[in-house]
Chain A
């Protein structure tokens, strides 16, 4: 070892010892807590607490137009046994069920075309075009359908010019579905496009090489691997249609009322908060049930058998 290297090695130690070293202030758990607490508090106060309170209110009473804490089951029995609620529930389930079927049925072939037929560029463009309506101006678009479908609207003006009409396009089950599909279709197609894009293409090619016709490839390769995505599409469509307020309001004029309409009417007329809350909580229970069903369906028959064993 040379003399020079000895001095550099000694100075290495000196440099180390001279380095200022403050001990860390606070424990390493500080940062996650600082990040997590605001989120927790915010969601607790502005999301969880209102929902919990909603459940509590279902047992309260309204006396002289004032909401008073109590524990009565009266609100539940009144709502659950009222024919208005029962009819609205059946109607809302029927409407949302129809939307779910229609949205899934239209979305599947459209998503298939986007995922498997379009070029990468065209596909990105299609996805961008589908994302826009998910986040923008649903209410306005429903209003636009009103303009298109109303008795003095665009379609009736066109068919009127050739002597037909005016057609009662607005205010029926069809116009309601037009509105709800406006809400659900973009999301339904997006979910399926993303799921299909995730399918291993070699799987499809392998099936085709084995002589599978396209229809059989869809039935035996694509559909089974899309089971969870289809269940997600269906539950999402149902969830959106079931809770929607705007389409029933503007496309059918609230007749017959859906549960959302019923909630708003109940709140508006005479501060019947507990009863509106009962409807709301019932809707949430209903949705939880549907989500559970979706989960169950998405697991597939084989997995279910496995779980049952």
Chain B
């Protein structure tokens, strides 16, 4: 059956489609990076020659510098808080049984599923009434509400591999529940904690609608880009885009490096195979 024309064509079509998918996903990223080094004002071909002009220009732009700094602050704060809250939620789910557990878990898990437009509007409406509108801390707080979902998922997955006896063993050896948490559960979860830190940072670094709604005058970098995009064609966008792209890709890759999530560990090879 192998080697018939039909099979070969089918294989070719399969790999062809997969290749097309990857080209489709890679194209926009490549376009951003390539044209950020283009000397032309308008990004099109032919390429106008290599230039660092736009990269230099963004360094000189105080609004972009501020936005970048804001993004870093919000991203770091979100990463730390979302990881802490995500750990707490994942650990409670792992170790304890309590009433209203499902609603509690859903409260943490659901936010990313709500369209950011609606969530951003709702957050703005509510938070401005309690006097939290237009602050960088508010942007961070809202990002935490979303990123905790991802943090919980990553850490919960890791906790699945924690032997049920390990924590009781620590109590048995003189560790209080808090000490066991600090000296056994957290060290065990460390790769997942690092992964969730980077991923939460990436989520925050990439989020623009909520930041745009609740941030007021405090623009994060994606909000700055959004505002630039709605104005005139601006060659700086590609340069900022490259910076943002490199940072968020790096964050996601770092996160992946520590999760060790694989698509299907294959069933153990049987002997003789």
By a beta-carbon cutoff of 8 Å, the part of chain A in contact with chain B is 24, 28, 31-32, 35-36, 38-40, 42-51, 53-54, 57, 106, 109-110, 112-115, 117, 120, 123-124, 126-145, 147-148, 152-154, 157-158, 181-182, 185-186, 189, 193-194, 196-198, 200-202, 214, 239, 242-245, 250, 260, 263-264, 267, 273, 276-277, 280, 283-284, 287
Q: Is the CB of A284 within 8 A of B21?
A: no
A-side binding surface: helix, strand, loop or mixed? helix
Q: Is the CB of B117 within 8 A of A38?
A: no
List 29 contacting pairs A-B, 8 Å CB cutoff, sorted by A. A32-B95, A32-B98, A36-B88, A38-B85, A47-B110, A48-B107, A49-B126, A50-B119, A50-B123, A51-B119, A54-B125, A109-B14, A113-B14, A114-B18, A115-B264, A117-B15, A123-B263, A128-B253, A132-B252, A133-B25, A139-B222, A140-B225, A140-B244, A144-B241, A148-B31, A152-B44, A157-B46, A243-B115, A245-B115
Chain B residues 195-218 with CB under 8 Å of chain A are 199, 202-203, 206, 208-209
Task: Given A35-B91, A137-B206, A152-B44, verify A53-B115 contact (CB < 8 Å).
Answer: no
Q: In the docked arrangement, what's the CA distance between A245 and B207, Å?
A: 12
By a beta-carbon cutoff of 8 Å, the part of chain B in contact with chain A is 10-11, 14-15, 17-18, 21-22, 24-25, 27-29, 31-32, 35, 42-46, 85, 88-89, 91-92, 95-96, 98, 104, 107-108, 110-111, 113-119, 121-123, 125-127, 129, 141-142, 144-146, 148, 176-178, 181, 199, 202-203, 206, 208-209, 222, 225-226, 229, 237, 241, 244-245, 248-249, 251-253, 255-256, 261-264, 266-267
Determine how close the nearest CB of chain B comes to the CB of A37; give it in whole angstroms.
9
Q: In the docked arrangement, what's the CA distance between A247 and B266, Å?
A: 38
Q: In the docked arrangement, what's the CA distance between A60 and B112, Å?
A: 27
Please give, as numbers and ranges, the residues of chain A lying within 8 Å of B148 by CB-CB distance.
39, 42-43
Q: Is the CB of A50 within 8 A of B126?
A: yes
Please give, as numbers and ranges, the residues of chain B lying within 8 Å of A245 by CB-CB distance.
115-117, 209
Q: In the docked arrangement, what's the CA distance between A114 and B203, Å?
A: 26
Selected from A31, A47, A143, A196, the residue in CB contact (under 8 A) with B237 is A143
Q: In the docked arrangement, what's the CA distance between A200 and B267, Å?
A: 8
Task: Given A49-B126, A129-B25, A194-B264, verify A280-B89 contact (CB < 8 Å).
Answer: no
Given A46-B142, A138-B206, A263-B121, 7 additional A-B pairs, CB 8 A:
A32-B96, A38-B88, A39-B89, A45-B141, A132-B249, A148-B28, A243-B117
Q: Is the CB of A31 within 8 A of B177?
A: yes
- Chain B minimum-CB-distance residue to A260: B117
